[in-house]
């Protein structure tokens, strides 16, 4: 007797919890718990609302309710999204109509078989009823005539198969225990990264600073992570170019004078540092999000003048008297140092990032003094 087959679609509304670990190498580990009703036998589960930049080779699916009662037999990642180009590409050999509206208001309909997909989208036009002009189309009319690059509003009898409105995972599951299952799906998603920035405001006599650390998360993964448990992993990784729109820290944040309770808890993890957000947050798609990493007031600092003499050496042959090089002036570097200790109102390992130094003038206006990396 053939096993019964059950089809079910799971969306973000079925989510019961999301956790996200973001690495500063433009990827993240996504873990999502969803509630899915499964029947005994073969189940085809369409899992929607996943990241568009998912790594399909990294996907893990399991039932938390009955791990040994659910087996994954097949797994597919469908990302052929529904749009005019993909529809035309899959409509080759099918009947299409081009509705053209002439300047005198007369409507003409060209109906025939589409012989090839478009090669390019040229642009929009008001001729022939408006809409995009798809270059390279060839249409065989019902009377046998061939029309090259037809224009007008395109109509189809039905949508082609295999197109999806959003990226989806499709599993074929073999289930021995029917009922509501709490499931967990884990995968790697590209296009999401984070970095740290710091703002240090030095006091009048340059002996203390108020330090504020910011985490900037840039999410371009193609998914929104609502009410996620957020973790950030920092380690000895290669720096990558900054993405547009990620520079700078809000100026209003510099006015913080009192140390606030840190909303990230740091812990050593293998050879890295893991920063866990206390509570949850929503990381939206195509969003740059800034969150406070730390806020420390009255951090003692020392100001030093440093000569980097090592950079001034070069190989030079002995010259005759009067032929030597002129004496050159060398600029001194002004270095502000602080001890990262609890006694100095600090004590949290700081991820690598850019530090911007400010000082208030006699009018109380903050002036930018310089920046460096830690």
The full set of domain ranges for the chain reads: 5-79+164-189, 84-156, 192-373
pTM reported for the whole predicted model: 0.74
Sign of CA dihedral 310, 313, 315, 318: negative
With a cut of 80, say whether residue 271 has pLDDT above it.
no
- pLDDT, average across residues 220-239: 83
Q: What is the pLDDT of residue 136?
A: 84
Per residue in 1-22, pLDDT tens?
455 578 999 999 999 999 999 9
Q: What is the pLDDT of residue 255?
A: 40
Query: What percent of the chain is modeled with pLDDT above 70?
Result: 82
Q: What is the pLDDT of residue 325?
A: 58
Sign of CA dihedral 334, 339, 344, 347: positive
- pLDDT, average across residues 328-332: 71
* Residue 68 CB partners (closer than 8 Å, separation 6+): none
Q: What is the pLDDT of residue 176?
A: 95
With a cut of 50, say whether residue 356 has pLDDT above it.
yes
With a cut of 80, say whether residue 329 has pLDDT above it.
no
> Looking at the domain that runs over 84-156, which CATH code has it been given?
2.30.30
d(C-alpha 80, C-alpha 89), whole Å: 11
Q: What is the pLDDT of residue 327?
A: 58
Q: How confident is the model at residue 122 (pLDDT cuts 50, 70, 90)?
A: low
- pLDDT, average across residues 55-68: 94
Higher pLDDT, 205 or 332: 205
Q: What is the pLDDT of residue 313?
A: 52
Q: What is the pLDDT of residue 54?
A: 93
- pLDDT, average across residues 261-283: 86
Higher pLDDT, 260 or 92: 92
User: Among candidates 160, 81, 86, 90, which has minimal Cα distance to 121?
Assistant: 86
Which range, 119-128, 227-236, 277-286, is most confident? 277-286
Q: How confident is the model at residue 312 (pLDDT cuts 50, 70, 90)?
A: low
- pLDDT, average across residues 41-56: 93
Residue with tokens 């993405």: 243
The number of C-alpha atoms within 13 Å of 151 and in the hemisphere containing its C-beta is 15
Q: What is the pLDDT of residue 102?
A: 86
Q: What is the pLDDT of residue 124?
A: 55
Instruction: Count other C-beta atoms under 10 Å from residue 370's C-beta.
Output: 11
- pLDDT, average across residues 80-104: 88
- pLDDT, average across residues 134-153: 90
Q: What is the pLDDT of residue 75?
A: 93
- pLDDT, average across residues 147-172: 88
Q: How confident is the model at residue 252 (pLDDT cuts 50, 70, 90)?
A: very low
Q: What is the pLDDT of residue 79?
A: 80
Looking at 58-67, 275-284, 333-342, which range is the least confident one? 333-342
Higher pLDDT, 133 or 312: 133
Structure tokens that stand for 109 in this block: 């309909």
What's the whole-number average pLDDT of the chain?
A: 84
Q: What is the pLDDT of residue 131?
A: 56
- pLDDT, average across residues 326-347: 80
CATH class of the domain defined by 5-79+164-189: mainly beta
d(C-alpha 8, C-alpha 178), whole Å: 13
């Amino acid at each position: 007797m053939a096993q019964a087959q059950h089809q079910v679609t799971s969306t973000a509304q079925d989510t019961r919890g999301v956790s996200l670990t973001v690495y500063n190498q433009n990827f993240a580990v996504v873990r999502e718990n969803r509630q899915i009703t499964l029947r005994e036998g073969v189940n085809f589960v369409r899992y929607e609302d996943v990241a568009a930049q998912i790594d399909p080779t990294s996907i893990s699916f399991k039932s938390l309710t009955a791990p040994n009662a659910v087996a994954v037999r097949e797994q597919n990642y469908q990302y052929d999204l529904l749009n005019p180009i993909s529809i035309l590409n899959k409509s080759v050999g099918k009947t299409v109509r081009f509705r053209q509206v002439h300047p005198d208001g007369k409507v003409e309909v060209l109906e025939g078989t589409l012989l090839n997909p478009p090669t390019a989208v040229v642009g929009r036009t008001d001729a022939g009823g408006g809409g995009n002009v798809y270059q390279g189309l060839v249409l065989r009319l019902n009377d046998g005539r061939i029309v090259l690059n037809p224009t007008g509003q395109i109509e189809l009898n039905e949508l082609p198969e295999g197109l999806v409105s959003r990226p989806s995972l499709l599993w074929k599951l073999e289930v021995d225990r029917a009922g509501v299952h709490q499931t967990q799906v884990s995968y790697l998603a590209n296009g999401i990264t984070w970095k740290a920035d710091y703002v240090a405001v030095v006091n009048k006599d340059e002996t203390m600073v108020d330090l504020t650390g910011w985490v900037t998360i840039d999410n371009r993964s193609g998914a929104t992570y609502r009410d996620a448990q957020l973790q950030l992993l920092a380690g000895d990784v290669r720096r990558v170019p900054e993405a547009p729109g990620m520079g700078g820290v809000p100026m209003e944040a510099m006015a913080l004078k009192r140390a606030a309770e840190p909303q990230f808890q740091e812990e050593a993890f293998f050879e890295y540092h893991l920063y866990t957000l206390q509570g949850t947050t929503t990381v939206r798609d195509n969003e740059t999000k800034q969150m406070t990493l730390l806020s420390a007031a009255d951090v003692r600092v020392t100001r030093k003048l440093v000569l980097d003499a090592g950079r001034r050496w070069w190989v030079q042959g002995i010259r005759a008297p009067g032929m030597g090089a002129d004496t050159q002036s060398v600029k001194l570097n002004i270095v502000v140092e602080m001890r990262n200790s609890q006694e100095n109102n600090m004590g949290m390992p700081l991820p690598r990032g850019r530090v911007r130094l400010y000082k208030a003038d006699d009018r109380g206006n903050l002036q930018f003094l310089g920046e460096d990396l830690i």
